Amino acid sequence: MMSHIKIISILTIILTACLLACSGKKESHQEESTTIDSEEWDELDSFHFVMAESFHPFIDSGNLVPAKENAAAMEELAAKWANAPLPAKVNNDHVKKLLIKLKQSTTNFKTMLPDAPDEVLGDSLSTLHDLFHGIQESWYKNEDHHEH
């Protein structure tokens, strides 16, 4: 039963990533598409899903297997998120810097997988989680904050 849930989760992530890639291409053809007006932030939701699937097993029981399995998906979603137009309420230098840092940190996490000890991977995953929450906090708490 658990493996079916995991397979469905992975397929959902892949489908979401494909949909985001297609919608991102449409946006890229518009000039000055660096801001979108929206009450939803699909990239945040997509990354949150994978982060939750990766981080909670680690924080709850020290299990890094899901994070290792999701490393490539986190890297891909963070890269797409960093390059996507930002909703107006978070279109500021602070959020842009956090997204770039998240993108770099997910790449670093994936790169260190083969050789790093679990303690180092756990610290890196915790850093990713904290970066994500910094972006999420900007979205939920800084409604009208455009410059930091």
Please choose, from the candidates 78, 73, 97, 95, the residue with its C-alpha nearest in 3D space to the C-alpha of residue 86: 95
Q: Which residues of 51-84 are buried (b: 16+ CB within 10 A; e: fewer)?
A: bebbbeebeeeeebebbbebbebbbbbbbbbbeb
Domain ranges of the chain: 37-141
Collect all residues with Cβ–Cβ distance below 8 Å to 48 and sequence separation of at least 6: 132, 136
Cβ atoms 20, 85 nearer than 8 A = no
What mean pLDDT is predicted for residues 96-123? 96
37-89: pLDDT as tens digits: 556 888 999 999 999 999 999 999 999 999 999 999 999 999 999 999 999 99
* Whole-angstrom distance, CA of residue 100 vs CA of residue 84: 11
Amino acid identity at 140: Y
* Whole-angstrom distance, CA of residue 51 vs CA of residue 125: 9
pTM over 0.85: no
pLDDT interval class at 141 (50, 70, 90): confident
State the fold for domain 37-141: Four Helix Bundle (Hemerythrin (Met), subunit A) (1.20.120)
- 3-state SS, residue 22: helix
